[in-house]
Structures are given as structure tokens and as C-alpha cells.
Amino acid sequence: MADKPVPLTREGKSRLEQELDGLRARRRAVAERLHASQEQGTSQNDAEYDDAKLEQGMVEGRVLEIEDILRRATVLDQTGVHRSGRVVIGSGVEVEQDGKQRSYQIVSAPEADAAHGRISSDSPVGAALLGRAAGDFVDVNAPRGVVKLKILKID
């Protein structure tokens, strides 16, 4: 299971690579903070040292996570996505819910960003939409109850 391929869009892979570059730069800055607080060796720098160690752990954890995702990444063929006629990872989907139109892009979990309309294929809505075609009605089991969607368009 640890070596399961991670499907990514080109944009998603690029965003992860940029985040990794930023984290590597931040890693150096945190190391310098740790070194400076160790050199001073006073009790008033203990809090700064502890804070830097905590940040170092978070940065290192995220670096390892992104490196693993990128190692297992398979970039999606966007032309195949547009020709499929069905919702697949990478598809843009326009749906109607309670008379309101919403647009989503179905992506893998590492790319998900609900605030920007990118929902995970593992989410209740994403999973319910996978494999469906334009015109289909979909019932989504969400935490607040069953949500009814109509697929208007697939990009």
C-alpha cells in the first residue's frame, strides 16, 4: 500500500514541487535559528529553541511526505481525461445542487483544495461523481445527510 501510485495533474505536481523547494529553503533558515539559539545557551532562549525544534519537525515531516508523493506520482494524461465522457481524476465537473450550480475539479488527495474547487476523489462528493456522465443524477452520502447532484457538464 505504501507504494501505491498517486495520480497528479501537471499543475498539482508543479505546486508540490514548488512547495518542496520552499520547504527546503525554510529548512536551512530553521537550522540557522537552532544553531543561533544553541550558541547563546541562556534559559531565555529555551522557548526559541523549542519553537525552532517544533518547526523543524513539521518542516521535515512535510518534506518527507511530499518527496514520497512525488516519488509515487503518475502524471495524468489530460487529453484522455477530456475524451472519456465520464468523470475521472483530473476532470472538471459542473453540477447542480438545490438549484445552484457549482464547479469542481476532481483530483487526488494530495492536490485537494476545496477553497479553490479542487476536491479529492476520496471525498464523498468526489467518490460519488467518479465514473458518472453528464446528465446523471448522483446521491452523495454526506455528513449532513444525502445530497442530490445533477451532472451538467464534464470538462
Q: Write down the pLDDT at residue 1.
A: 46
98-103-106-107 Cα dihedral, nearest 10 degrees: -130
Domain boundary among 32, 52, 75: 75
Q: Write down the pLDDT at residue 80.
A: 64
Q: Considering its fold, how many domains does the chain have in total?
A: 2
What is the average per-residue pLDDT within 18-24? 97
- The edge-to-edge listing of strands for the beta sheet with 137-142 is 118-120, 100-107, 92-97, 145-154, 137-142
Q: For residue 73, list its beta bridge partners.
A: 6
12 with 68, same domain?
Answer: yes
15 with 61, same domain?
Answer: yes
- Higher-scoring residue by pLDDT: 81, 3: 3
> What are the distances in angstroms from CA 96 to CA 4, 117, 135, 149?
33, 14, 10, 6
Domain boundary among 75, 104, 132: 75
Domain boundary among 75, 98, 124: 75
Instruction: Place 25 in a pLDDT band, splitting at 50, 70 and 90.
Output: very high
User: Domain for residue 1, yes or no?
Assistant: no
Q: For residue 74, list its beta bridge partners.
A: 7
- Higher-scoring residue by pLDDT: 26, 34: 26
pTM: 0.78
What is the average per-residue pLDDT within 1-11? 83
- For the chain, the average pLDDT equals 89
CATH of the domain at 25: 1.10.287.180
Summarised one tens digit per residue, pLDDT across range 33-78 is: 888 888 876 655 678 888 889 999 999 999 999 999 999 999 987 7
10 with 63, same domain?
Answer: yes
What is the average per-residue pLDDT within 104-131? 93
CATH of the domain at 94: 3.10.50.30
22 with 89, same domain?
Answer: no
